[in-house]
Amino acid sequence: MGIVKVRKNYHQARWDEPMIMEMSTPGVRGIIPPEPEAEIVDAVGDVAGALPEGTRRKSPPALPEVDQKRVLSHFLHLSQETLGSNLCADLSQGTCTMKYNPRINEDLANDPHFAYMHPWQDDETMQGILHMYWTFEQILKEVSGMDRFTLQPGGGAHAVFTAASIIRAYHRDRGELEQRDEVVTTMFSHPCDAASPHTAGFKIVTLMPKEDGYPDLDALKAVVGPHTAAVHITNPEDTGIYNPIIDQFVEVVHDAGGVCYNDQANGNVLLGIARTRDAGFDLCHFNVHKTFGTPHGGSGPGTGAMGCRDEFAKYLPYPTVEKDEKTGKYYLDYDRPESIGKIKGFLGSAGVVLRAYAWAVMMGPDGLRETAEMSALNNNYFLKMLEKVPDVYYPYAEGHRRLEEARCSWIKLTEKTGVGTDDILRRVGDFGLQHYWSSHHPWVVPEPMTLEPCETFSIEDLEEYAQVLEIIAKEAYDDPEMVKNAPHKCAVHKRAAEEELDDPDKWATTWKAYQRKHGKK
């Protein structure tokens, strides 16, 4: 093993940084462009006058007025107040599949030949990018067994929404949409498997796991029937448990006339091992920003590559990328009368698709399989390391092997010390590591911690994280206040009122809303 350095004396930069709107000084400019020359003004004419009346602003936009130097330092400060995947091992973000994103793919995406393409270029002039889309689709088809893919959705929930829209169209065409208004999911599937179909107009029925922690086939049989439109399910589930009777789940739903959707956003452990088509699924998706090595990028852009069997392909959003077998030329097909329509501008997140394509090609078929094997091995090795951490265990199917991730519980520690998972995860930041992901809400596993040491983390990364958890668990006994008031060395301190995050009267996503809701104006 190499050097494992637990950073006990770490301290993050803390800048007490104002919001950029608060830095605004009237009249200050970053760049003052020179006035255009007279002959240019003459040639161009009245630019503002060319805009339709309705689109012209009545007053200038309320932009912050800050000089270049201060803008630069402002954003540099903010970047120093984050802990991202390039700064530390973030193997703790379970369900997120935070693997290493190869830097060379950033160079590819930033290559002017690619980056400066215009979205309205003619198909003839972008054969390279279309070839890349088409080839990546073939890779995804091979990995999943599906017949077609769309690379349009901007993320996982968007892909699930696209699928739910396709399922609506499918039942509508069979004259059964009115009757089939329910989508079934499981408590340990990703919440978007409930939320996206709900947004698409379906009622949601969620199944609790059996007392042994495995998905409950009897519960499925009890709820599936003539009202069932589809099942939307994650496998392996968030607990890291693989549903060993997934084919029976599919059979029950198919027998009742429903459609089967496999959310494999995190398909890390399936690559080259198990194909969703072989389990009988009709549709599926991969998040390329999880499974195919592209950055998460701070809420985007991402891509949810959504695939389906032939029967559903006519409903895919347009445009699709097609290849003319005679000429060998690629083209965008907008002429799809039964399509659910357009779901994203132009080609979707082309830069992300390029990175994913590059990752998949670099890995090759053997590399994809190795990804699956290593991610399961890393996780199980890590769980073995965690045995030295007091009180950590993983309920639901306790003692059974997890695949690429595990949802552990600190409840035993909490009951003895009063220190909960939210305290521990904040304390992790004091060691220069990314805090861990607890769980979706509400918690089914009490005081949860979800860890996912992907295939790219080294044994030293795992050891560092395990040692930090061990230190904190011991602190919970010896000095609980230290943990409960953490973090002490991070840019952001403990939030005083956690509940305000869920209070629509308090949260603000824009400067205007912040001023209004917090009485600043």
Q: Which residues bind other proteins (CB under 8 A)?
A: 187, 194, 198, 202-211, 213, 216, 218-219, 222-223, 395-396, 411, 414-416, 418, 420, 422, 438-439, 441-444, 446-448, 480, 496-499, 501-503
Min dist. Cβ of residue 260 to other proteins (A) = 18
Closest CB 440 distance from other proteins, rounded Å: 8
CA–CA–CA angle 146, 151, 152 (5° rounding):
130
Rounded-to-integer distance, Cα 514 and Cα 62, Å:
14
Distance, in Å, from the CA atom of 394 to the CA atom of 206, rounded to the nearest integer, reads 22
| Cα dist from 325 to 124, 125, 234, 322, 328, whole Å | 15, 18, 36, 9, 5
Those residues with Cβ within 8 angstroms of residue 100's Cβ, 6 or more apart along the chain or in another chain: 85, 293, 454, 456
* Least distance CB 419 / other proteins (angstroms): 10
- State both tokens at 514: 């912040």
User: Is cis: bond before 487, omega within 30 of 0?
Assistant: yes
Nearer to other proteins, 24 or 199 (CB): 199
Quote the tokens at residue 37.
């020359």
Question: Do the Cβ atoms of 465 and 253 come closer than 8 Å?
Answer: no
Residue nearer to other proteins on the CB measure, 216 or 370: 216
Smaller CB separation from other proteins, 311 or 415: 415
Q: From the CB of 398, what's the least distance to other proteins, in Å? A: 12
| Beta strand 304-308 pairing with 283-287 | antiparallel
| Tokens 């830069």, residue located | 351
DSSP readout, 434-460? PPPB--SSS-SSSSEEEE---TT--HH
C-beta of 157: minimal distance to other proteins in Å?
Answer: 16
∠ CA 196-197-202 to the nearest 5 degrees?
A: 145
The distance of closest approach from Cβ of residue 399 to other proteins in the complex, given in angstroms and rounded to an integer, is: 16
Q: In terms of CB distance, is 352 or 476 closer to other proteins? A: 476
Element (H, E) at 321: strand 320-323
Report the residue number, 137 or 422, with the smaller CB distance to other proteins: 422
Nearest to 368 by CA among 198, 61, 142: 142
Of the candidates 376, 352, 360, 368, which has an alpha carbon nearest to the alpha carbon of residue 453? 376
For residue 417, the Cα-to-chain-centroid distance in whole angstroms is 34
| Chain-centre distance for alpha carbon 25 | 38
The token pair that represents 145 in the structure block: 């067994």
Residue 219: CB minimum distance to other proteins, A = 5
Helix (H, G, I), strand (E, B) or coil at 326: coil
Distance from C-alpha of 115 to C-alpha of 466, rounded to nearest angstrom: 41
Residues 294 and 355 sit within 8 Å (Cβ to Cβ): yes
Which residue's CB is nearer to other proteins, number 372 or number 476?
476
Beta bridge partners of 409: 393, 448
Q: How far is the CB of 405 from other proteins (least distance, A)?
A: 18
- State the nearest-atom distance from the C-beta of 500 to other proteins, in Å: 11
The least CB distance from residue 382 to other proteins, in Å, is 23
In SS3 terms, 236-247 reads as CCCCCCCCCCHH
CB 129 within 8 A of CB 501: no
Closest CA to 472 of 394, 521, 406, 420: 420
CB closer to other proteins, 236 vs 448: 448
Residue with smaller CB distance to other proteins, 264 or 409 = 409
Q: Which two tokens stand for residue 394?
A: 């993983």
Q: Name the residue nearer to other proteins (CB basis): 12 or 421.
A: 421
Q: Which is nearer to other proteins, 87 or 444 (CB)?
A: 444
For other proteins, the closer of residues 196 and 303 by Cβ is: 196
* Nearest to other proteins of 178, 218 (CB atom): 218
